[in-house]
Amino acid sequence: MVPEGKALAQLKAKNYAAKYLASGEPIDLIGVEFSKEARNVVAFEVERVAGMAP
């Protein structure tokens, strides 16, 4: 199975980090892809999002 990169894209599309941005702390988005066939993790991506200062 080839990783599709959809996990991190879903985090961004649903804007899950928005409620934490005002903290001023950096936020790490971690997308993990699982394979139904292999029943295991096949890929992961990490992206740091800078928080806004209060």
Strand duo 40-49 + 27-35: pairing: antiparallel
Q: What is the pLDDT of residue 21?
A: 86
Q: What is the pLDDT of residue 3?
A: 66
Question: What global pTM score does this model have?
Answer: 0.74
> Which parts of the chain have pLDDT scores under 50?
none
Q: What is the pLDDT of residue 53?
A: 55
Q: What is the pLDDT of residue 24?
A: 84
**Residue 45 CB coordination number (10 Å):** 15
Rounded CA gap, 30 and 10, in Å? Answer: 11
Q: Considering the chain, what is the average pLDDT of its residues?
A: 86
Q: What is the pLDDT of residue 29?
A: 94
